Amino acid sequence: MITLEHAHIEEVRGIRKLDIDFRKKNFAVSGPNGSGKSGVIDAIEFALTGEIGRLAGRGTKGLTIAEHGPHVDKRDFPNAAFVQLTVYFPDLGKSAKITRKISAPRKPKIEPANADIVAAFKEVEEHPEITLSRREVLRFILAEPSKRSEEIQIILKLESIGQIRAALNTAQNKLSTALRAGEDSIQNRRNALQRHLQIKAFEANELLDSVNLRRAALDLPQIDKLAADTKLDAGISDSDKLPQFNKQAALRDLKALSDAVGMLPTIGKKHVDEILSGLTRLENEPAL
């Protein structure tokens, strides 16, 4: 938080030379269109940040502080255009002057150049949202209530934060849905396991006792500790490995089987002939 004590503006935007005594109080600037009201805002913003928001952003391609910051009559003399602000820092209990020329927006002169004063000005410089143009204020006032937060984000240059918040909300919804599905799945599997193991409570000890009882019946080693990756059926089947399938071997086996099936009539012919011969003898036996 800072308050302004005084501003001296020379050859900046539409202002030739102007002194304003703010006295650390609220201050209103009024006047007809084109009288330079916004120029005062631009000059204060420039003095504090080295930038003029109205010369940047959408629809301002080709505009620069060097060319469009100075008064039109001093466009070729940017060195003559400067702003000097006297600023009061309540936290420090000190006042200081900052002078910034259009010709050197990144090299302000700070008096006194004490470390705490310089640091305080540096912090102010890092917040370009400190000045709002009439267009920005009107934009906020005219915004629908449901979209006012979006407008504030735009005014404070927080569009990225809004996008990140929307992405976080979407992520939260996705994760909540996945969590509910996961919890349902866990409950179903837990119920199924509890039913199969015939245990009353789903507790590690009771579960292990029931499992080990069954493993003992199958002559399998006991499980001492239950962890997330414990396999209760370890030793019964190796479910991690897929059964290996050898196509060539399978084809060979299939051919051998087909051959064997084809040989069946030949293999049994001797016995069939013997049986038929025996039946014929029996039919021709006079005693029968």
Partner 1 sequence: MVKLEKCIEEKFLKSLSEDKAVDAAIVHQLRELFANSNKPKADDFVRIFTSLVDGEVK
Q: Which positions lie near partner 1, rule CB under 8 A? A: 126-129, 156-158, 160-161, 163-164, 167-168, 170-171, 174-175, 178, 204, 226-228, 230
Nearer to partner 1, 192 or 226 (CB): 226
Candidates 123, 124, 142; CA nearest to 134 is 142
C-alpha span between 74 and 97 (Å, rounded): 24
State the nearest-atom distance from the C-beta of 122 to partner 1, in Å: 11
Candidates 134, 124, 119; CA nearest to 46 is 124
Residue with tokens 């001296």: 8
CB 276 within 8 A of CB 270: no
Nearer to partner 1, 64 or 173 (CB): 173
Nearer to partner 1, 109 or 157 (CB): 157
State the nearest-atom distance from the C-beta of 8 to partner 1, in Å: 27
State the nearest-atom distance from the C-beta of 92 to partner 1, in Å: 20
Residues 6+ apart with CB under 8 A from 11: 17, 70, 71, 73, 74, 77, 80, 81, 82, 102
State the nearest-atom distance from the C-beta of 151 to partner 1, in Å: 15
CB 117 within 8 A of CB 96: yes
Nearer to partner 1, 181 or 254 (CB): 181
Nearer to partner 1, 164 or 236 (CB): 164
Candidates 162, 207, 165; CA nearest to 189 is 207
State the nearest-atom distance from the C-beta of 170 to partner 1, in Å: 4
